[in-house]
Amino acid sequence: MPGFQNGANVMCHFIQITTISLILYLCAGFDPGITHAQTLVINDTNGPPFTTVEGDGFLDIIAGKAFKEAGLTLQLIKTPPERALRNANAGIDDGELTRIKGINKTYTNLVRVPEKLIEWKFVALTRKPGITVRNWGDLEKYSIGFIRGWKILENNTKDHKNVNIVRSPAELFSMLDKNRIDIALYAKWMGLEIVRKKNIQGIRVIEPPLAMREMYVYLNKKHSRHINNIASALKKIKENGEYQRLFDIKVIQPFNQ
């Protein structure tokens, strides 16, 4: 029965090919017992020394470790601050890396990780020697600039008349360097890093800071199941001394060289 024999040969050949394909697939790295880490896309409005293009900034490392400990993979993307909040709130992106406490009162789909990621010092930077600033009200006498979407700065200067709102740190510090504004409002360490990297001369930080705020990771509510795990991981990193060690290396030491 040649027809039957040929059919049997075809079926046997098919089984062999299927078996070989399955073996190759498994050897390529597929393991049904392994659960691959979920990737969360988080908006990052920071810059060096906190986050860098190379991914070796202080927060790149700390947040990356915390997410990994929580069984997640962190992917940071750069988005303008105002748009970043809207995207995270809408679920287009998965969250925000650093925002002040209470931002979820306005952006109600965001859930805060209760363990703080970092504390920011919001400061005034200037080149002019005669300027002194002790509070938000003192800024009214000067032309100031800051980046759109930084809510703490927007909220505390909304009645000021001479305000320049820009889209990027590069634009802000270009205005300061060209004396187009008296004062740039920014986060202390990131501002100092820009001044250092761009070799902008004569810029100083006015102390004390206008405000100090704890900054938190926020996730869209669809990822709220991860909140406690990320918080626990951050707390562990602080308790074992790794947080302070990396802060000294990545943030403090470059300014002491």
CA distance 222 to 87: 13
Residue 80: count of CB within 10 angstroms of its CB:
16
Q: What is the pLDDT of residue 30?
A: 41
Name the β-bridge partners of 144: 163, 183
Question: Coil, helix or strand for 91?
Answer: coil
CA distance 15 to 2: 20
pLDDT tens across 99-131, in order? 999 999 999 999 999 999 999 999 999 999 999
User: What is the average per-residue pLDDT within 34-48?
Assistant: 86
Q: What is the pLDDT of residue 37?
A: 83
- Residue with the two structure tokens 């915390």: 66
With cut-offs at 50, 70 and 90, classify the pLDDT of residue 256.
Answer: confident
Domains of the chain, start order: 38-119+215-255 (3.40.190.10), 120-213 (3.40.190.10)
Chain CA centroid to CA 18, Å? 46
| pTM reported for the whole predicted model | 0.79
For 150, which DSSP code?
-
CA distance 210 to 213: 10
The answer to whether the beta carbons of residues 144 and 162 sit under 8 Å apart is: yes
